[in-house]
Amino acid sequence: MAGGDPIARRTALRAGAALALSAVLPRPGRAQSATRAVVDAAGRHVTIPSPPRRVFPAGPGAAVLVAVLAPDRLAGWTGTLPAVARAVLPGSLVDKPVLGRLTATPPTADAARVRDSGADLVLDMGTVNDAYAAIAESIQGGSGVPAILLDGALARTPALLRQAGTLLGTAARGEALAVQAEGLLADTRSRIAGWQPPRLWYGRGERALQAASPASIGTEVPVLLGCTLPTPAAGDPAGTSVTLVEAFAPEVVLVERASLAEALRTDPLWAATPAGRAGRILVAPSGPFGWVDGPPSIQRLLGLRWLLSAVRPDLLPPAAMRAEAAGLLGSFFGIAADDGLLDRMLGA
């Protein structure tokens, strides 16, 4: 799931939409699995298997979450895995089928695909709002398979890991990863206390002229660090104005492709910005998935530490960041990240 309104997410949470769990034992004399009553992040009351045997991820963020917590229960991916993911993930994950995405516009999967997959749970995570709650409700109604929505806010990653771990029957793993996430978030807050965060442009499109919105779930890494992102001009919600670039004068420019970063470094518009003059046109690392956004899931903890180190190496030395990244890649995906692999991921 991507995009959405953080105000709606907070409203849902204030309304008491935190996940509530209570186990329900199977009725005597019937050969059925135990079930669990759940109130998901959108306030929907759903009865799910406890634990589920096969999970259909509604979007790519949910697929990453299940791959980390319960890889044997992931029914498949929402799209073709990036080459870097295929190169470093265990074969058991690489070989999962492509199921399509329920939350795409237009969707590439539907209720029939959910039924055919043999899944007994549909899981979505990310922004919590009425639109995504409606998707979950529609898929559940059309497929007969329970569907739940979890809050994927980066700042709430520890809670997400605990909740999802409990739901998936891997509570001990969820707790261990949640403690690790809590430590990184707390340390990040401590390191940036009192710092002067930069003006950051997260660029999309051919010339990076489309500024990612500070209200998007895809920009939570720089926003959590306190970076100032541009507010698109009135009538230009995509933020594509050259004038906006010049007026905003970004001190850091962030893009997702190395080829685009190379082009921007010689583009007169970008070379004239404070970011261009300081050599701070950065490429968000990836491997096995994007560290800053693609998709917005729990691996963004990697991006949080990377961006802090890239912008202020005095606050988080690169050697410490690399050691943390290797640890997270091992904890999340079972990847043994040596210096050579880290160099490739970081573009070093």
Domain ranges, residue 141: 6-172
- State the pLDDT confidence band at 237, using cuts at 50, 70 and 90: low
Task: Note whether 230 and 339 are same-domain residues.
Answer: yes
Looking at 136, 157, 172, the residue that finishes a domain is 172
Helix (H) or strand (E) holding 328: helix 318-333
SS (H, E, C) 279-292: CCEEECCECCCECC
pLDDT value, residue 206: 86
The count of C-alpha atoms lying within 13 angstroms of the C-alpha of 238, restricted to the half-sphere facing its C-beta, is 8
* C-alpha to C-alpha distance for 282 and 272, rounded to whole angstroms: 15
Tell me: pLDDT of 148 over 70. yes
Q: At what angle do helices 339-346 and 318-333 cross, to 10 degrees?
A: 100
Which amino acid, one-letter code, is at 153? A
Task: Note whether 23 and 167 are same-domain residues.
Answer: yes
For residue 276, which of 259, 262, 287, 289 has the smallest C-alpha distance? 262
- State the pLDDT confidence band at 242, using cuts at 50, 70 and 90: confident
Mean of per-residue pLDDT scores for the chain = 90
In this predicted model, what pLDDT tens digit does every residue of 73-101 receive, in sequence order?
999 999 999 999 999 999 999 999 999 99
- In sign, the C-alpha dihedral spanning 100, 178, 6, 274 is negative
Give me 167's structure tokens: 């739901």
In this predicted model, what pLDDT tens digit does every residue of 192-208 receive, in sequence order?
999 999 999 999 988 99
Task: Note whether 222 and 103 are same-domain residues.
Answer: no
- State the pLDDT confidence band at 12, using cuts at 50, 70 and 90: very low
pLDDT value, residue 348: 58
Task: Note whether 277 and 138 are same-domain residues.
Answer: no
Q: 43: domain CATH number?
A: 3.40.50.1980
Give bridge partners of residue 211 from the DSSP assignment.
Answer: 203
Burial class (CB in 10 A: 0-12, 13-18, 19+), 53: middle
Domain count for the chain, please give it: 2
Task: Provide the 10 A C-beta neighbour count for residue 238.
Answer: 13
Q: What is the pTM of this model?
A: 0.89
* Span 45-54, average pLDDT: 97
Task: Note whether 153 and 38 are same-domain residues.
Answer: yes
Task: Note whether 156 and 300 are same-domain residues.
Answer: no
* Span 60-85, average pLDDT: 97
